[in-house]
Amino acid sequence: QTVVTQEPSFSVSPGGTVTLTCGLSSGSVSSNYYPSWYQQTPGQAPRTLIYSTNTRSSGVPDRFSGSILGNKAALTITGAQADDESDYYCVLYMGSGLWVFGGGTKLTVL
């Protein structure tokens, strides 16, 4: 069974930079998995941030960026703001119509 891994939690100072990662329990994440990233605050629907590894969704500020770092997909937030405090999820397209979400990272800005 494929497991997509994310850090359960992360902390960043206001104005700081943080990189969240999205890996596979076995194997490497590449752009062929079309990694995408979503931000969610409690009680709200997810918001699309990044798709196809590094393309920002419409209206997403450029302090959010996506990449492949080593064998993982990565979401980097540069100049973190208080309202970036959210849960962040990656999802990988596994092919044949199947998708797998990571467990999510709870980001604290303090």
Exactly one of 59, 62, 83, 98 binds another protein (CB under 8 A); that residue is 98
CB of 80 to another protein, least distance (A): 21
Q: For another protein, give the closer residue by CB, 13 or 99.
A: 99
Residues 63, 73, 6, 70, CA torsion sign: negative
The phi-psi region of residue 7 (left if phi > 0; otherwise alpha if psi is between -120 and 50; otherwise beta) is: beta
Could you say whether residue 10 binds another protein (CB under 8 A)?
no
Please report where in the chains the tokens 């937030």 appear, as a residue.
77
Asked if residue 108 binds another protein (CB under 8 A), the reply is: no
Question: And the tokens for 71?
Answer: 């064998």
How many positions of this chain bind another protein (CB under 8 A)?
Answer: 26
Check residue 64 for interaction with another protein (CB under 8 A).
no
Query: In sequence order, what are the residues at sequence separation of 6 or more whose Cβ sits closer than 8 angstroms to the Cβ of residue 105?
Result: 6, 7, 8, 9, 10, 20, 87, 88, 89
Q: How many CB atoms lie within 10 A of CB 25?
A: 9
25 binding another protein? (CB under 8 A): no
- For the bound state, the minimum distance from the C-beta of residue 93 to another protein, rounded and expressed in Å, comes to 4
Binding site for another protein (CB under 8 A): 34, 36, 38, 40, 44-48, 51-52, 55, 57, 87, 89, 91, 93, 96-104
